[in-house]
Homo-oligomer: A and B are copies of this chain.
Amino acid sequence: MQPYRERLAKLEALLEEENLDAILVTRSPNVFYFTGYRGAGFLVLARNNGFALLVPPLEYLNALDSVKENDVDDKVEVVGYQPYGLPEDLVLAPKQKVLQKSLVDSIIEIIGEEKRVGSDLTNLTLYNELVKKLKLIDIDKKIAHMRMIKDPWEIERMETAVAIAEEALQAAIDSLDYGVSEQEIAAIIEYSFRVMGADDHSFPPIVAFGENTVYPHASPSKRRRLEPGMPVLIDLGAIYKGYCSDMTRTLVLDEGPEGFRDTAEAVLEAVEEAIDLAAPGVKTGELDAKAREVLRKHGLAYYFNHSLGHGVGIEVHEEPRVSYGSDTVLEPGIVITIEPGVYIPGKYGVRIEEMILVTKKGAKRLTRFPTRLWL
């Protein structure tokens, strides 16, 4: 059962609650969330006028197919806009509904001037144009909160995105051998994602060997090759039907560098303790503090130079933040990463990243890949 009719109804309810004349959804992940449409375009809800998906001509056919496939073609009208001022016989598509106007003018035409419009708008240029004719009210946080609570339909997609990442990670690990380059391993990951049906990666895979592991966002190099004693850090995620996964493992093929094993055990302990704490009612900042406390006990907190995690869904980084001091209260349906890391300059880095789903009683891991990948 497609979730889009229910989500569109939430926007209609928001229109009433906030006493708005219209809603304008501009950010692609939000347009996708409400309609299932993936491509350039905005979603407009105007009182008494219903929903319009406003798209450039090259996306018109795609948008028509999309509303049909996602079972909202009776709710959402596809409207093209074409700002080019083309001569009559070159104008696209007489059979299609295409406004011969710029994007801004098309929005105003659909909504009407001087209206109260709720929007997720974050683009300053577009804001400056629209605010001349509309009264804009920020509803970005309200939409982010809707998206934060995942339904079973979304969890299913995310589980597949995790499964794809784990198969790719296995293929990568199977190809690890002294002499292989970071880029070759990244190539295997990208290839695996695609053949397993991923839409794309969630982010370019991080593959780091040896001292390159001290950079949390290391870029794979064609020249850096695996040598005995080097740790390997792989951080990867796939997008499946619009939903992201994100996970990290650090491993060694041998003893690894001095102290590696103790550090890795400490990081793993931080992961486990943070996950054990996760449950409805707990603040995300408490999870971060817990992981830091574990690492402090081992004298390693100083080397943990980023947040514990972040929400994952249609975007690989979305609400909630999982940082020191953040006060979002966990609820069932929230999906976050737990990814403490310890980066010792000039030596090595260790990060282990799990994805968890908050349940009624606690948290369930979405990642299943073994975490302890050292001797």
Question: A-side interface residues toward B, CB under 8 Å?
Answer: 38-39, 56-62, 84-86, 89-93, 121-125, 127, 183-184, 186-188, 190-191, 193-195, 197, 199-200, 204, 214-217, 219-220, 222, 292, 296, 301-302, 304-307, 323-325, 343, 345
Contact = CB atoms under 8 A, between A and B. Distances in A.
Contacts of A302: 89-93
Contacts of A124: 121-124, 127
Contacts of A217: 39, 58-59, 62
Given A39-B217, A324-B86, A195 B199 contact: no
Contacts of A214: 61
A36 B338 CA distance: 31
Contact of A186 (B62, B89, B186, B194): B194
9 contacts: A58-B216, A61-B215, A85-B324, A121-B124, A122-B125, A183-B197, A184-B195, A190-B190, A190-B194
Nearest to A190: B190
B184 A61 contact: no
The 5 closest A-B pairs by CB, nearest first: A187-B194, A190-B190, A84-B324, A58-B306, A191-B191
A85 B194 contact: no
B296 A90 contact: yes
Given A191-B191, A292-B90, A345-B61, A325 B197 contact: no
Contacts of A84: 307, 323-325
Contacts of A61: 214-215, 343, 345
A241 to B, nearest CB: 11
Contact of A219 (B199, B220, B305): B199
A343 B61 CA distance: 10
Contacts of A199: 204, 219
Contacts of A190: 187, 190-191, 193-194
A59 B214 CA distance: 10
Contacts of A90: 292, 296, 301-302, 304
B222 A197 contact: yes
Nearest to A346: B61
Contacts of A59: 216-217
Contacts of A216: 58-59
B305 A85 contact: no
A39 B206 CA distance: 13
Given A91-B302, A123-B123, A183-B195, 6 more contacts: A59-B216, A84-B307, A92-B302, A190-B191, A190-B194, A199-B204
Given A58-B305, A61-B345, A324-B86, A204 B215 contact: no
